[in-house]
Amino acid sequence: MKSNWKVLTLIAILSSAITLAAYSFLGFNKRDVVFNESSTPTITGRLAALTGNGTSAPGDFAYAAESATPTVVHIRTTVTRTVRQQQVPDIFREFFGDEFGGAQPRQPRRQQGQASGSGVIISKDGYIVTNNHVVQDADQVEVVMTDKRSFKAKVIGTDPLTDLAVIKVEAGGSLPAITLGDSDNLKLGEWVLAVGYPLDLESTVTAGIVSAKGRGIGILNQNVDRNDRNADTPIESFIQTDAAINPGNSGGALVNLRGELVGINSAIASATGYYSGYGFAVPVSLVKKVTADLLKYGNVQRGYLGILPIELDSKRATELNAKVGRGIYIESVVDNGAAKTAGLQKGDVIVKMEGQPIDSDAQMREIIGRRRPGDVINVTVNRGGTERDFKVELRNRNGGRDVVKKAEATTASLGTLGAEFEDISARELQQAGLSGGVRVKKIVDGKLAETDIEEGFIIVKANGKNVKTVKDLQTIMANVKEGEGLMLIGMYPGSSRMYYYAVPV
């Protein structure tokens, strides 16, 4: 019986690291951020000893461990959560009054908690890559080096769709920075090491092999606002390894035997939340691009192909009358999108991209995820049994070729509010004397949990605009920029009084 990866896969606070030898420069705050990037591997001297005969025979892991360990840091965060106390039913208030909380709703309580993860130093001046889920919503971020020095860190940028983040420390000197390797050249069965701080232990190194590549496990779908049909799809094309990783390893490094970063450890497949033999890392090819975007632009520049894809297998190929059994079937193309402009059509099957055979949707998304709007990629499709090559210029989400500024990309979504919403039936609206409204069905966490809003609250206006459906609320939220507020007006069932709530977004 097949395991359900979406059920078994748990975020494990795993690993993140990067490899360098030739230099890349990114402008950030009028300064250059220098990364070390590996050149084509030449195994000589001590490196040759690592792999025995210099080809594929495994040897000593010590060099890789000694090289990578000083560049992997321990990240400790402080997070404040809002705990909503259970509401006392009105019938008990009526009989017992203040003994059961009086007539007023019980206020949410704020609780502080600590979390722990790992990170990888990618530049000598203090930039560190980690997982988004390690620093997400953190009030304070502390970085502890292997030499026990401790620094406060600032979150520079995050990307929930790849589970990556960049933070910065001011260490007042030159820090050991890892070298970024080449995840594309990783081979199945190749030895790798996982370096991090699992279970709040000191720096720990474990060894294993590359078990699979291009693995999509559905773990990042929780970062998508399900109320937003235009929300971007997470990019999952993980390196799978059997190197032992556990909670606390998140954001740490997966390195090859040359000590070069090939992946950022991010998740494990486990029914218990602890190591069960499978770990997953974001490939460094994607880490490089996302990190560069966050440093240079403040947000990730995503290129869009403009198709509705269907991953083929033999059964789907037969159902769709495709001429090949593997690849990405184009169900439809977006008007004025990159694919349609280049000449791709409904019914085409993408079989290659940038010369690489395409077998999965995860693999295709990773290749596109490394590019920006305006970049041209080579796409080979099977059309009616004949292969044809196309050059496709990727677009941004607005259909253009330009970089999307951070201010344009940071509009809020319903997911920011941390609640579930539902439209109200015509009968209920009539009983309440309303022409429209949206009910707060459930408050999970997020911005609404920081207010006095109770579940069941009916929103009738947001920022002065009428709210009749969930779609109306989403449209209003999409126009709220980062740092702006949201004013909600509405009522509770059985009450004619209007309530006003200011929600910081």
User: Nearest-CA neighbor of 168 among 153, 178, 158?
Assistant: 153
Facing residues of 73 across strands?
119
**So what's the pLDDT on residue 28?**
36
Catalytic residue among 15, 116, 123, 133: 133
Facing residues of 81 across strands?
111
**So what's the pLDDT on residue 8?**
39
> Is residue 3 pLDDT above 70, yes or no?
no
Domain 411-504 has CATH 2.30.42.10: yes
- Euclidean distance between CA atoms 429 and 426, whole angstroms: 5
Per-residue pLDDT, averaged over 159-174, amounts to: 91
Please report which confidence band the pLDDT of residue 110 belongs to, taking 50, 70 and 90 as the band edges. low
Catalytic residue among 16, 250, 270, 285: 250
**So what's the pLDDT on residue 223?**
57
The better pLDDT of the pair 495, 249 is held by: 249
Per-residue pLDDT, averaged over 432-452, amounts to: 83
> Is residue 171 pLDDT above 80, yes or no?
yes
Please report which confidence band the pLDDT of residue 68 belongs to, taking 50, 70 and 90 as the band edges. very high
The enclosing H or E element of 95 equals helix 90-96
- Euclidean distance between CA atoms 338 and 164, whole angstroms: 27
The model's pTM = 0.70
**So what's the pLDDT on residue 408?**
55
Per-residue pLDDT, averaged over 365-372, amounts to: 92
Please report which confidence band the pLDDT of residue 22 belongs to, taking 50, 70 and 90 as the band edges. very low
Query: Helix or strand or coil: residue 132?
Result: helix
> Is residue 162 pLDDT above 80, yes or no?
yes
- Euclidean distance between CA atoms 210 and 164, whole angstroms: 21
> Is residue 106 pLDDT above 90, yes or no?
no
Query: Helix or strand or coil: residue 94?
Result: helix
Most confident of the ranges 105-109, 144-148, 231-235, 276-280: 144-148
Instruction: Please give the distance of CA 156 from its chain centroid, rounded to a whole number.
Output: 15
Is the CB of residue 122 less than 8 Å from the CB of residue 178? yes
Tell me whether residue 74 is annotated as binding: no
Angle between helices 361-369 and 284-296 (to 10 degrees): 40
Rounded to 5°, angle at Cα 431 from 491 and 100: 50
Is the CB of residue 325 less than 8 Å from the CB of residue 313? yes
The mean pLDDT of the chain is 80
Among this protein's residues, is 250 annotated catalytic?
Answer: yes
> Is residue 411 pLDDT above 70, yes or no?
no
Question: Could you tell me the CATH superfamily of domain 307-393?
Answer: PDZ domain (2.30.42.10)
Weakest mean pLDDT among 12-16, 282-286, 440-444: 12-16
Domain ranges of the chain: 1-82+107-300, 307-393, 411-504
Q: How far is CA 144 from CA 26, 70, 77, 163, in A?
A: 26, 11, 11, 21
Tell me whether residue 250 is annotated as binding: yes
User: Nearest-CA neighbor of 249 among 275, 283, 284?
Assistant: 275
**So what's the pLDDT on residue 218?**
72
Most confident of the ranges 26-35, 92-101, 420-429: 420-429
**So what's the pLDDT on residue 340?**
94
The better pLDDT of the pair 194, 92 is held by: 194
**So what's the pLDDT on residue 228?**
45
- At the topology level, CATH places domain 1-82+107-300 in Thrombin, subunit H (2.40.10)
Please report which confidence band the pLDDT of residue 431 belongs to, taking 50, 70 and 90 as the band edges. confident
How many Cβ atoms from other residues are within 10 Å of residue 384's Cβ?
Answer: 10
Q: How far is CA 339 from CA 197, 220, 395, 403, in A?
A: 44, 26, 9, 19
> Is residue 154 pLDDT above 80, yes or no?
yes
Instruction: Please give the distance of CA 296 from its chain centroid, rounded to a whole number.
Output: 18
The enclosing H or E element of 29 equals none
> Is residue 212 pLDDT above 60, yes or no?
yes
> Is residue 275 pLDDT above 90, yes or no?
no
Please report which confidence band the pLDDT of residue 60 belongs to, taking 50, 70 and 90 as the band edges. confident
Do the domains at 1-82+107-300 and 307-393 have one common CATH topology?
no
Regarding beta strands 349-353 and 328-333, do their DSSP bridges make them parallel or antiparallel, or are they unpaired?
antiparallel
Residue 194 carries which side chain, given as an amino acid letter? A
> Is residue 230 pLDDT above 60, yes or no?
no
Facing residues of 141 across strands?
77
Among this protein's residues, is 133 annotated catalytic?
Answer: yes
Among this protein's residues, is 74 annotated catalytic?
Answer: no
